[in-house]
Each structure stands twice: as C-alpha cells, then as structure tokens.
C-alpha cells in the first residue's frame, strides 16, 4: 500500500478500527488543548471576565466554522470511497478539489468573522462588561481562518486515506507551540485576551504547514500539486452532496449552541464563565467517542467502496458497543471530577458552582450522546449524511430551542438549559435506532451511484 495510507478493508475489524481511532483521539485531545490553554491561561492570569469573553466567543466561532469544516469532512467520505475502490485518479482529483474548497472557505470565513464580529456578538446578547474582550478574541481568531480551514482539510485528507498518525504528530508540535505563545503573549508581554486567539491561529498555521509538506511527497496517491488545485465540477458536486448535510448538521448544532449561549449570557458573567468552563471539560470528555465515530465513518466508507458489506456490519456493531460503553464511563468520571477540574480554570466559587450544576444534570446521559455520534458516523460513511442532518436539525436545534424557550417561561432556572441536552440526546437515539433497523442504509450509496 502507498506510504502514508492505511487500507481498512483487510485485517481484524476491531484492531483496524482501534488503530485508527487511537491516533485520532490523541489528535483531538491536543486540538482541545488549544482551546483549554486559552481558557486556563486567560482565566488564571486575566480573571473571570476575560474567561467569559473567551467563552462567549466559542459558540459563535463554532457556528461560523461548522458549515465549512463539515463540508471538508464530507469530502473525506468521497476520498475514502474511491481509495477503497482503488480509483487512484479520482482520489487525486478529489483531493485537489477539496483543497480548492478549503482556500475559498478560508477567505470567506476571514471576511465574515473580521467584519461582522461586533454585530454577531451583540445579537447573542453578550454582556457589555465582556464585549470588548469578546470582539478582540473573535477578530484575532478569524484573522487566522485560512490556517484553520486548511489544517482541517489536510487532516481530513490524511484521515480519509487511513493515516491518523501524522496529523497527531503535527498537532502535538503545534499544541506545545500554542501554550508557549499564550504564556509569552499574555504573561510576558501583557497583550490581553485577543492575543490568546492570535496564538491559536499561529499554531494552527504551523500544523497546516507541516501537513502541506507531507502531502506534497512525490510518487504518492495523495501527492498535492499546487498547479492542479482547482474545482473539478463533478467531484465538487459529489463532495457537496456528501459534505453539505454534515456541514448543515454541524451548523445546526452550532445554532442551537448559540441560542443556548444567548440564554446563558442573560444570567450574567458568572454563568458565562461557569458554563464555558464546563464546556471545556465536556469537550475533552467527548473526544474518545468522537474519535471512534470518525473511525467508523472512514471504515464504513472504505469497505463499502470495496463492497465488503458483512465487514461493514461487524465494524458498525463493534463501534456502537465500544462508543456507548466508553461514553458512559467517561460521563461518570467527569461527574466525580468536575468540582476539582473546574477550579483549574477559575477558583471563584460562583463560577465553579455553575459548572458542577451542569455536570450533575448532563453527565449520567453521555451514553445517549455517544450512541447518537456512533450512528451519525456510520450513516455518513454509508453516504446517508442527510439522516443525521435531519435528525439534528429537528431535534438538537429546533426541539432543543423550543424546550428551553417554553421552559424558561415557566421558571427562570438555568438548569432548564442543562436538561435540554439529555432530553434531545434521548430523542435522537430513538430515531437513529429505528432508522438503523428499518432502512436499507447499507446499500443506499450504491443505489445512488447507479442513478448518477
């Protein structure tokens, strides 16, 4: 097999998935260290209002990046499918099309994020005492949008080809760089909250550059040639067909989170800092089963390309069981650890108490969230990305917002915001279970290819 690629269509199913998932998990762990480093350093050196500025920007950043990054993830499904089928020319064309999309998306995100940041933050009801810091952090982050987008595109390409190790190595380097820059900019130079976002952007650029160097390796199936970076119309349509539902799904989740953040903002800066702290802890907790879900997407996609249908079924069953078990264990661990871990970000009792209250409501139900992620990963790999998109649009966005809106009219209690999550996780789990057993999702992609 070509250097830097891993064929997931042969070998022991469990071992193949685990070998792919572990480096992805470690990569995502270091990715979260980017954000956690910002919050840890800002919260301890600049105080809880600066921490609230970072927290209030996070959900809006997710909203503006979710669509583009989702499409890039969808492109990985296309690349995986052609790689599993041995179509090397189509793999190369899909890679160059995906990079062209990444460049265009990075330019769009930079313009939108820099120009519209004050307007968007006001729409969210950001508290006046943290507005200046939020705008500074937000703008500085989006000045590095090109690096963020290209990094996600490059790692998506490598993951699609079964290589989850190199993105990990590059990310370790850039995570260490990010921490160093945070300390230098904030502690040594006193640049303020916006410099934390600048450190993140520089570090993302470093990891994107390392990925780019690897992808230019001559004689490989994935060799990236700058002169060939362009949109291939047929492949771009296929990338959009696979990726747009994932992008919309991510955006829908982000819209729901922005709405929830608006309600959190109405409870003041202590609630903003406390919920932001818990969100950082929760993001780390999500990493193992998100990594398994990505491994399932690549595994299912490659094996469907090779028409290994029984192998797909075995991998799906193993992935679901592993993710559900792992997510519940992690949820229980985080439930016990939140009172101590929250103090790492800010020791103010009122901030810690909000984080602990959210943990007590949500953590016991992590198994439902893990199950939904597993199903979404399987269906994306099978070319049925519209299924998780539809479920999450109707449940994780519309119903979640309705639940909060109605609930807040009866009681002005922040715990209503917290309960919106496990309730909607349970509903999506039921819907995904019905679709998994009642539909012929396994052969849906093949039928769609024949119609084209």
Q: Across the chain, which distance is largest between two alpha carbons, in Å?
A: 65
pTM for the full predicted model: 0.71
Q: Where are the beta strands (DSSP E) in 184-283?
A: none
How buried is residue 10: exposed, middle or buried, by Cβ count under 10 Å (0-12/13-18/19+)?
exposed
Which of 95-104, 134-143, 183-192, 421-430 is most confident?
421-430
Question: Which position has the higher pLDDT, 119 or 418?
Answer: 418
Instruction: Give which of 327, 319, 415 is closest to 363, Cα–Cα.
Output: 327
pLDDT attached to residue 56: 61
Instruction: Give which of 302, 70, 311, 283 is closest to 164, Cα–Cα.
Output: 302
pLDDT attached to residue 218: 84
> Residue ranges per domain, the chain?
13-445
Residue 222 three-state SS: coil
Distance CA 246, CA 369 (A): 17
- Is-contact 65 198, C-beta < 8 A? no
Which of 84-98, 110-124, 347-361, 422-436 is most confident?
422-436
pLDDT attached to residue 445: 56
pLDDT attached to residue 164: 75
- Is-contact 64 142, C-beta < 8 A? yes
pLDDT confidence bin for 96, thresholds 50/70/90: very high
Kindly report, residue by residue over 5-17, the tens digit of the pLDDT: 667 788 888 888 8
Q: Residues 6 or more apart from 86 whose CB is under 8 A from it? A: none
Residue 138 three-state SS: helix
Kindly report, residue by residue over 53-78, the tens digit of the pLDDT: 666 656 667 666 777 777 777 788 88
- Is-contact 47 191, C-beta < 8 A? no
Distance CA 130, CA 279 (A): 18
pLDDT attached to residue 243: 78
- Percent of the chain with pLDDT strictly greater than 90: 23
Q: Which two tokens stand for residue 55?
A: 């927290």
Kindly report, residue by residue over 328-377, the tens digit of the pLDDT: 999 999 999 999 998 887 788 888 999 999 999 999 999 999 999 999 99
End-to-end CA distance of the chain: 30
- Does residue 187 surpass a pLDDT of 60? yes
- Does residue 442 surpass a pLDDT of 50? yes
- Does residue 451 surpass a pLDDT of 60? no
What average pLDDT does range 81-90 have in this prediction? 84
- Look up residue 439 and give its DSSP letter: S
- Does residue 452 surpass a pLDDT of 60? no
């Amino acid at each position: 097999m070509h250097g830097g690629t891993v064929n997931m269509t042969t070998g022991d199913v469990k071992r193949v998935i685990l070998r792919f998932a572990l480096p992805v998990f470690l990569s995502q762990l270091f990715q979260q260290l980017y954000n956690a480093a910002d919050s840890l350093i800002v919260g301890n050196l600049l105080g809880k209002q600066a921490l609230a500025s970072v927290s209030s920007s996070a959900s809006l950043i997710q909203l503006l990046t979710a669509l583009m990054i989702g499409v890039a993830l969808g492109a990985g499904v296309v690349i995986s499918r052609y790689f599993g089928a041995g179509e090397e020319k189509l793999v190369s064309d899909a890679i160059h099309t995906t990079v062209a999309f990444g460049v265009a998306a990075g330019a769009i995100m930079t313009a939108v994020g820099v120009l519209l940041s004050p307007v968007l933050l006001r729409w969210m009801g950001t508290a006046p005492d943290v507005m200046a810091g939020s705008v500074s952090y937000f703008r500085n982050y989006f000045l590095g949008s090109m690096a963020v987008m290209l990094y996600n595109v490059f790692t998506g390409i490598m993951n699609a080809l079964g290589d989850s190790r190199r993105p990990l190595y590059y990310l370790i380097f850039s995570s260490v760089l990010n921490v160093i820059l945070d300390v230098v900019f904030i502690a040594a130079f006193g640049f303020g909250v916006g410099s934390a976002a600048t450190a993140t952007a520089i570090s993302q650029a470093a990891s994107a550059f390392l990925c780019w160097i690897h992808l230019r390796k001559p004689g490989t199936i994935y060799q990236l040639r700058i002169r060939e970076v362009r949109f291939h119309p047929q492949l771009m349509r296929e990338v959009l067909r696979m990726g747009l539902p994932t992008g919309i799904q991510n955006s829908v989740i982000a819209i729901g989170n922005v709405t929830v953040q608006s309600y959190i903002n109405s409870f003041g800066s202590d609630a903003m800092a406390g919920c932001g702290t818990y969100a950082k802890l929760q993001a780390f907790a999500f990493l193992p089963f998100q990594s398994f879900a990505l491994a399932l997407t690549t595994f299912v996609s490659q094996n469907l390309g090779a028409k290994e249908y029984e192998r797909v079924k075995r991998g799906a069953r193993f992935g679901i069981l592993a993710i559900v078990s792992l997510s519940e264990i992690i949820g229980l661990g985080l439930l016990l650890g939140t009172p101590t871990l929250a103090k790492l970000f800010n020791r103010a009792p009122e901030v810690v108490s909000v984080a602990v209250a959210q943990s007590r409501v949500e953590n016991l139900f992590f198994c439902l969230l893990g199950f939904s992620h597993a199903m979404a990963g399987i269906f994306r790999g099978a070319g049925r990305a519209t299924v998780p998109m539809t479920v999450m649009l109707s449940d994780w966005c519309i119903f979640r917002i309705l639940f909060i809106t109605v609930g807040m009219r009866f009681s002005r209690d922040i715990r209503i915001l917290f309960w919106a999550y496990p309730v909607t996780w349970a509903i999506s789990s039921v819907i995904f279970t019905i679709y998994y057993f009642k539909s012929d999702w396994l052969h849906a992609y093949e039928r769609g290819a024949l119609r084209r």
